[in-house]
Amino acid sequence: MSHQIASRGSPLKRVKVVEFEGIGPGPLAGLLLTQLGAEVTMVARPSPGDLPKDLTPREDGLLSRGKRRVVLNLKQEDDRTRALEIVAASDGLIEGNRPGVMERLGLGPDVCGQLNPRLVYGRMTGWGQDGPLAQAAGHDMNYVALTGLMSLTERPGHPPMLPPTVLGDAAGALGFALGMVSGLLAARESGQGCVVDGAIVDVLAMLSPLVQIISASGGFDPGVPSVFHDSPFYDRYICADGRYITVGAIEPQFYALLLQRLGLTDVVLSDQMNRSTWPALKARMTALFASHPSAHWTQILERTDACYAPVLNLTEAAAHPHNVARGLYRVTPGGDIETARGLRFLALTDRAADV
């Protein structure tokens, strides 16, 4: 039986990180590091940021949870000196400004590196520290569009789409956090820090090998029906109650089970990849799923190898039995849905858990 490790469940327990207040992926990366056990001090601006009020995170919101907040005006010498004192006592630094801003404030890598040679200086941006777009503004969908990944969601008659802030900002933050941890590990071994150039476009390119492999094999060729857009066994379907469900039964054995559970026993299994049969079967499955509410299909298909999941809203996701069992979300007294934890770190053996 696995046990949560109290002493080792926070692998970055003694790591100190200073985060200079920003928006989007920078604060999220700081949160990810706190969830891994790091002690994060956020240097906040004395005035509100540039985001519209409706999109500005609350001071006590999730992105600030577990961080120590210090308000400093970095344009004033005394406050800048205080910031440098925090940097000197830190293992890592996170900043999300445009290239050159921290240098103009006297807080660039050269200054901080001379003060603290072991420092891992993390720079979280969309376009990176150099390149033709380095000084241009951008947001999540711009980065996803430029890397080619957004085009993969385009279907005939439907524009490309993606979940807001997830694939660009959040994935960028996760990749950046990996870079910070890697830099911290190297600094611990060598005594020498580094600069982590955490460009979202770089992280998205890192995430692309699987789709590049599929593309190289013709899986996304224009004019050729794609498993991911046109097949009947990998799609979302609307049900009688207006809710959507998803099936993704790509493997032949999973496809066979899906057909069996749907009562489509007359479908020829060996024709799964016969693209000429897809339109008729998709029309048949569309009508079938639309004949019953989504709860009906959940009862028939969930917890099987038919590769099924209903499309839930955020409130429903927080209440789903699997997510509850995993402890993924919590509901605040005000009714907001929040992610409850980061990765779990468990004992390798039962004996280790008792040590």
**Which residues are known to be catalytic?**
139, 169
Count other Cβ atoms within 10 Å, centred on residue 318: 19
Cβ 306 vs Cβ 255: under 8 Å: no
Q: Which sign does the torsion angle of CA 77, 78, 81, 87 carry?
A: negative
Separation of alpha carbons 124 and 162, rounded Å? 21
Alpha helices in 4-162 (DSSP H): 25-35, 77-88, 101-104, 109-115, 140-146
Cβ 99 vs Cβ 130: under 8 Å: yes
Count other Cβ atoms within 10 Å, centred on residue 114: 9
Separation of alpha carbons 142 and 150, rounded Å? 9
Q: Is 86 helix (H, G, I), strand (E, B) or coil?
A: helix
Separation of alpha carbons 355 and 352, rounded Å? 5
Cβ 329 vs Cβ 338: under 8 Å: yes
